[in-house]
Chain A
Amino acid sequence: MTLALSSEPFARPQGDRRGRARMAGWVLALVLVLTSSVSLNVGASGVNLLEIIGTLARGDALDARTRLILFDIRLPRLAMGILVGAALAVSGAVMQGLFRNPLADPGLVGVGAGAGLGAITAIVLGASLPVTMQAGLGIYLVPVAAFLGGWLTTILLYQISTSRGRTSVAVMLLGGIAMGALAGALSGILIYMADDAQLRDLTFWGLGSLAGATWTKIWIAGPLIVLALAAAPFLARALNGLALGEAPAAHLGIPVQRMKNIAILSVAAATGAAVAVSGGIGFIGIVVPHLLRLLIGPDHRYLLPNAALLGASLLIAADMVARVVIAPAELPIGIVTATLGGPFFLWILLRNRTLLDM
């Protein structure tokens, strides 16, 4: 409860957290700008943002190496971090709202397991594809397979849980667990077949990384993620109503079924695209919405945009740590988010137990 004590400067009634939520939005936007600037400044090479600005201010051209590092390595990586972080956090918040459960995660609707299966299939069996196909897809084979895997699982699960035009959230949750187990078993068979080099690739992919960021990947995943994020504001009021239950939401005039369709499709698109380009980065989708709910309340009109900002900042910050701690080598980012985020999250949970029990 300590987070809920600051007094409002305006004459708002008690229990009105909109002012604080808007303020949080501005602060988080500022934090994102700051982390982004620092992120551009940090890396294995000694390229420094201040020096670059100095050079540009003197009217000199940047040398080829600096340009390469800035525009082809650090900027795409930053852009991908922002996209993926926002996608994971917003998808998490939308899923939790839809399932009315703070522990729901895009992983539950099959995106995670399906994408994982797709990626593993590509890594293990990719070498046995016809050479022309291998050459055509090249390094995009794994992301494309991951995206397809995630999408197919989600669509299949959606079909299973929808009958006569109504999607049962409970069937979807349980079906997701079953499909996840099935995808896990199939992945297990493939892992059993994999050789040592492939196993290394699998492990690295499973832990996630922004290291492979290129402008091409961003042009592939970016539009999907942006489109899905753009749908989120239209879902906010519906998700608020849904917190009361499905029938009360419908009585408020919310088109519940259409809203579910949009929510599931946009989450599948955003997480599918994010997982495809960055691998399995856990944690962001659960922690970010949770923190924000403690800070500004569960009103989705503010929760969703703030989740995008905080998710992006957190992922960029984690990526900086991943790049620096064992430079010039890199840690997978999933290790960083889990080791730093896990204990922090536990600490937050212990401090707010009474609020969470409700």
Chain B
Amino acid sequence: MLTVDHVSVWLARKRVLEDISLRAEAGQITAIVGPNGSGKTTLLRAITQELPYAGKIYLEGTEIGALRGWELAARRAVLPQASRIAFPFTVLEIVRLGLSAGATAAPDTRALEALARVGLSGFEGRYYQELSGGEQQRVQLARVLTQVWAPIGPHGPCWLLLDEPVSSLDIGHQLEVMELAADYAARGGGVIAVMHDLNLTAMFAQQIILLASGHAIAQGPPAHVLTDDLLSRAYGCDLQVGTSPAPPIPYVLPQMARRTIQS
């Protein structure tokens, strides 16, 4: 379990995240959603120790700040939003960077396996920089996967912390990547993802935290959080949530929104 306990974050003397508490269980996908600037990525950055914060964050009961960098690296991997890299590395070399950070000595073929998982078999010899944005994002995901390959490690569940993992992907690859995350969770690992797409969130997440201007305005399973009232309040426009026929999954269509600005 990854627990966020009354965390606040200040950026340049402005409080951008106010008193957030969150319990993310292993075996589930926990999604952080909310409009632009609501503090989604800030919350993830606090969890990944990139930003200083007030409050406590625990990973399986241990205060996360007390863990050393390499201990943390063996228990959780972080997918950044967009990644420019500095030198002409090949795809294989990038994925192997994750391999060298993991807990145990991994076989050399692991990198190729990871590339196959993200649908990039045959890309290993290409230069990272000549790939499209979506392909680069999946290469990074393969690197992150090799870092915490086994969903359950020697210290308990491992975690994938994903910052908008599907933001530059086409719909086919969006489903592929979300299924990959769901599979990781199903095998016992934990996943926390910052998500923009409410429909994918509704399909795949078991827990959702909805942020608006630095506050958590709702938290719980999709049916509980994705409601007309809460979403309309968070996103500042009149949204109507539908429900798909069996299995019942909430969905939000922009066609069904009445923009308050126009009315």
Contacts and interface: CB of A to CB of B under 8 A. Distances in A.
B259 interface: no
Contacts of B87: 102, 243, 293, 298
B7 interface: no
B127 interface: yes
Interface stretch (B75-83, B198-206, B248-256): B75-83
B50 interface: yes
B93 A245 contact: no
A251 B92 contact: no
Interface string B100-121: 1100000000011000000000
B73 interface: yes
A245 to B, nearest CB: 7
Interface residues of B, number: 38
Interface string B39-55: 00000000011100000
Interface of B: 48-50, 68-74, 77-78, 80, 83-94, 97-98, 100-101, 111-112, 124-127, 129-130, 147
A248 B74 CA distance: 14
A89 B87 CA distance: 17
Contacts of B111: 13
A243 B140 CA distance: 13
A-B pairs with lowest CB-CB distance, top 10 = A14-B125, A253-B73, A358-B129, A298-B87, A15-B92, A15-B90, A100-B86, A253-B70, A15-B125, A252-B101
Given A237-B100, A244-B97, A297 B90 contact: yes
Given A251-B73, A293-B87, A245 B80 contact: yes
Contacts of A13: 92, 111-112, 124-125
A204 to B, nearest CB: 36
9 contacts: A14-B124, A15-B92, A15-B125, A16-B92, A97-B86, A251-B77, A252-B73, A253-B68, A297-B90
A358 B88 contact: yes
A93 to B, nearest CB: 10
A223 B127 CA distance: 39
Given A14-B124, A243-B86, A248-B78, A253 B92 contact: no
A44 to B, nearest CB: 42
A217 interface: no
A297 B92 contact: no
Contacts of A16: 90, 92-93, 124
Contacts of B71: 253
A224 B208 CA distance: 56
Nearest to B73: A253
B224 to A, nearest CB: 31
A294 to B, nearest CB: 8
Nearest to A249: B97
Nearest to B85: A243
A203 interface: no
A244 B83 contact: yes
